[in-house]
């Protein structure tokens, strides 16, 4: 008998578990990071979508306001023209 340390035999299950632990840990960490990044990306995309929708509503309101102002400007120009014509005919200023 040898007087050296007793070394247990290496089984295939032991070797397989070491490989899974060594290769599996980085994969698990990568999966967790990917899940976190995709979660953040999804929330950012949802926020961007909401803001784009709000911008569309605001653009429609701005267009309506501009059309209203143009109509009012046209009405004022018509009134100024009528007042000018009355003054030229000698009517009431």
92 contacts: CB under 8 Å, gap ≥ 6: 86
The pLDDT of residue 60 is above 90: yes
- On the CB side of 92, CA atoms within 13 Å amount to 0
- What's the pTM? 0.51
* pLDDT 10s digits, 7-23: 555 677 777 677 667 77
> To the nearest whole number, what is the mean pLDDT of the chain?
84
* pLDDT 10s digits, 37-48: 999 999 999 999
pLDDT given at position 21: 78
Check if the beta carbon of residue 45 is closer than 8 Å to that of residue 39: no
Instruction: Name residue, tokens 């100024």.
Output: 80
């Amino acid at each position: 008998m040898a007087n050296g340390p007793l070394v247990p035999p290496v089984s295939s299950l032991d070797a397989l578990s070491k490989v899974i632990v060594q290769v599996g840990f980085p994969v698990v960490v990568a999966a967790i990071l990917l899940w976190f990044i995709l979660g953040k990306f999804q929330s950012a995309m949802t926020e961007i979508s909401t803001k784009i929708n709000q911008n569309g509503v605001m653009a429609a309101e701005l267009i309506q306001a501009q059309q209203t102002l143009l109509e009012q400007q046209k009405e004022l120009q018509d009134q100024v023209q009528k007042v000018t014509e009355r003054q030229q005919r000698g009517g009431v200023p």
